[in-house]
Structure formats: C-alpha cells, structure tokens
C-alpha cells in the first residue's frame, strides 16, 4: 500500500519561486510510489486563525477546513516547503498549520527550505523544526535546502544547472528518511494505539 504524504507550501507572493520546490518534491515522492498531494495555502485561502478546527462543533467547520482535516488525519507524513521571511516563517504556511493540532500527531514531518540567496532558507527551517515538534510531529533529520531557487529549478520544478544537480542528488536521502519514519510510525500505531 502506498504511503500518503501531503506537501504544504505557504507563500502568497505574486511571483513566488518556492512553488518550484514544492512541485519538485511532490513529483519526486510520486515517482517513488507515494500517494502525494500538494496543499497550497494560497489556493486554499483559509482565513486568519480565529478558531481551530477542533473548536467547531462537529459538522460546522468551514468546508475547506473539514476537507483538509480529513486529508491530514489520513496522511502518513508531511513535507513543509518554506521560504524565509526576515529570518522567520512564512505567515501563510504558519496560519494554515495553526488551524490544526491533534490532526498532526504521531507522524513524521520533513522540511524543505529555499531562498533566493545562499542561506537556502535554513533559518526558517530551524524555526519550523521546533514548531512542528511542538505540534506533535517527529521532524526527520534530513533536510532539503535550496539556495538560489530561481537558478536551481525552472518554472516546471525541473532541476537546472549545478544547483539543480545538487537538489536532485540530495532528494533521495531526504525521501528515504521520510519514508522510513512514516513506515515506522504506521507500524507502531498498528501495534500500540497512541497514548493520547
């Protein structure tokens, strides 16, 4: 049975470049046999957090929230594709994740970061590591970090030039790490129900 992964992307910018990395990761996981879907915060257009999904009475949450909650609960793992805004997180992606809590529990998360410059969004990735851990996910040790995003991946998310070759080379280990943890979590949940 194929592993189910959700890839989350959160930039709302008009000329956003990180969607290239989100497409690359989604396609790469599918090519490895996963059932993988890209969740684009801009396309989903959730409101700024007022009520978490769990704070709605059953059956009263907005349709987009209800649908996404079901997808998160059914997933075996997650990839968060993040750019860096002033050393920090993209607000669109943070807003999306904050609508949920228990729905994230007991699954692995991977972080793929990017920037236009040479730091590859690693400062945002570091911030996400603690946040995702606090939200009940196990953050894998492998990271995918892409600097000079505009030259590393073309508009279709295909690797280009030396930077693209580096991304392509790093992806298999990143994917294998996520797959291993997803399989481990799934097996453990089948043996022992989560404690809460």
Model confidence over 98-134: pLDDT tens digits? 999 999 999 999 999 999 988 999 999 999 999 999 9
Cα 35 to its chain centre, rounded Å, is: 14
Range of the domain at 23: 4-191
Residue 97 sits in a domain of what CATH number? 3.40.50.360
Let me know if residue 162 belongs to a domain.
Answer: yes
Let me know if residue 64 belongs to a domain.
Answer: yes
Let me know if residue 129 belongs to a domain.
Answer: yes
Count of structural domains within the chain: 1
Q: Is the pLDDT of residue 87 over 90?
A: no
The predicted structure's pLDDT at residue 85: 86
Q: Is the pLDDT of residue 141 over 90?
A: yes
Let me know if residue 196 belongs to a domain.
Answer: no
Residue-wise pLDDT for 156-168, tens only, equals: 999 999 999 999 9
The predicted structure's pLDDT at residue 193: 87
Instruction: Find out whether 8 and 81 touch, Cβ atoms under 8 Å.
Output: yes
- DSSP notation for 139-159: EEEEEEEESSHHHHB-TTS-B
Residue-wise pLDDT for 14-73, tens only, equals: 999 999 999 999 999 999 999 999 999 999 999 999 999 999 999 999 999 999 999 999
The predicted structure's pLDDT at residue 73: 96
Let me know if residue 20 belongs to a domain.
Answer: yes
Q: What confidence tier does 86 reach under pLDDT thresholds 50, 70, 90?
A: confident
CA distances from 30 to 6, 26, 97 (A): 11, 6, 23
Which residues does 193 contact at the CB level (< 8 Å), separation at least 6? none
In DSSP terms, which residues pair with 90 in a beta bridge? none
The predicted structure's pLDDT at residue 96: 97
Q: Can you state the percent helix, strand and coil of the chain, rounding each to 5? A: 45, 20, 35
Let me know if residue 98 belongs to a domain.
Answer: yes
pTM of the model: 0.96
Cα 108 to its chain centre, rounded Å, is: 10
Q: Per residue in 52-80, is it b (16+ CB within 10 Å) or e — as a string?
A: ebeeeeeeebeeebeebbeebeebbbbbb
d(CA 78, CA 72): 9
């Amino acid at each position: 049975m194929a592993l189910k992964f959700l890839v989350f992307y959160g930039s709302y910018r008009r000329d956003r470049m990180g969607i290239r990395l989100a497409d690359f990761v989604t396609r790469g996981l599918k090519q490895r046999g996963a059932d993988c879907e890209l969740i684009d915060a801009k396309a989903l257009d959730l409101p700024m957090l007022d009520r978490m999904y769990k704070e709605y009475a059953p059956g009263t949450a907005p349709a987009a929230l209800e649908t996404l909650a079901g997808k998160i609960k059914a997933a075996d793992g997650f990839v968060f594709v993040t750019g860096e805004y002033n050393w920090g997180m993209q607000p669109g992606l943070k807003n999306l994740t904050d609508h949920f809590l228990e729905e994230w529990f007991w699954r692995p998360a991977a972080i793929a970061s990017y920037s236009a410059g040479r730091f590859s969004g690693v400062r945002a990735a570091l911030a996400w590591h603690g946040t995702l851990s606090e939200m009940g996910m196990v953050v894998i040790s492998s990271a995918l970090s892409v600097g000079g995003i505009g030259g590393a991946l073309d508009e279709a998310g295909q690797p280009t030039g030396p930077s693209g070759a580096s991304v392509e080379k790093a992806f298999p280990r990143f994917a294998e790490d996520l797959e291993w943890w997803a399989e481990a979590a799934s097996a453990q949940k089948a043996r022992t129900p989560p404690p809460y």
